Amino acid sequence: MFTPAIIAMCLGLVRTVTSVAGNEVARKLGRWRYNTCVMTVSIGLAFGIGFASGGSYGLAAALCLVYAGLIWADTSSLTAGTVVSAEPERRGAKMAVHSMLGYFSGFLGPLALGATLDLAGGDNPHAWGMAFMHLGIVVLVGLIIFQVLRPRDLAGERAAR
């Protein structure tokens, strides 16, 4: 049986692998196309994953592992795009803002998920469903911003559009 501690360790391993591998896949498919696909699938899974908490432990754990991979699959690609798209004299400042926003979001996300969970009634499948839907909405907002900004492809990448 996989204990929560083992699942948490696996989540960390999955995140590391998908983050690094994601950038390599993005280089081959095109950063814009890859990130759009990953974000879209992540939104779809977020909208359903919490409601699976009423089912089997194994299913919920497996879905969480897949979701962890998805939410980290575009991080290296987005960071690489940020670095390369910055003017050389502003790269440090751009990365500082990029990192600050990422870590600040990493701080706010669990608080917002917990607040949503509490407001939706606590530890039950409906509350978990609502809490994960909140995550999907946040990624949807990010996807919309990404679509509006339409970052350019980087040198050496496949044309994405």
Domain span at residue 94?
4-149
What's the pTM? 0.85
Q: Which two tokens stand for residue 32?
A: 């814009």
Domain presence at residue 159: no
- Within a domain: 67: yes
User: Residue 8 belongs to a domain with what CATH number?
Assistant: 1.20.1250.20
Q: Which residue has the higher pLDDT, 161 or 99?
A: 99
Contact 107, 50 (CB under 8 A): no
Q: How many domains does the chain fold into? A: 1
| Residue 110 within a domain | yes
User: Residue 107 falls within a domain, yes or no?
Assistant: yes
Q: How far is CA 113 from the centre of its chain?
A: 14
| Closest-CA residue to 128 (of 82, 59, 69) | 59
In a domain, 40, yes or no: yes
| 38-74 pLDDT, tens digit each | 999 999 999 989 888 888 888 888 999 999 999 999 8
Q: 34 CB contacts (<8 Å, ≥6 apart)?
A: 22, 25, 26, 74, 77, 160
- Residue 119 covered by a domain: yes
| Rounded percentage of the chain residues whose pLDDT exceeds 70 | 94
> What's the confidence (pLDDT) of residue 51?
87
User: Residue 2 — φ and ψ, nearest 5°?
Assistant: -90, 115
State phi, psi for 64 to the nearest 5 degrees. -65, -35
**pLDDT band (50, 70, 90) for residue 31:** confident
Cα–Cα dist 3/54, whole Å: 17
Quote the CA–CA distance of 34 and 73 in Å, as a whole number: 9
Q: Is residue 155 part of a domain?
A: no
**Does residue 157 form part of some domain?**
no
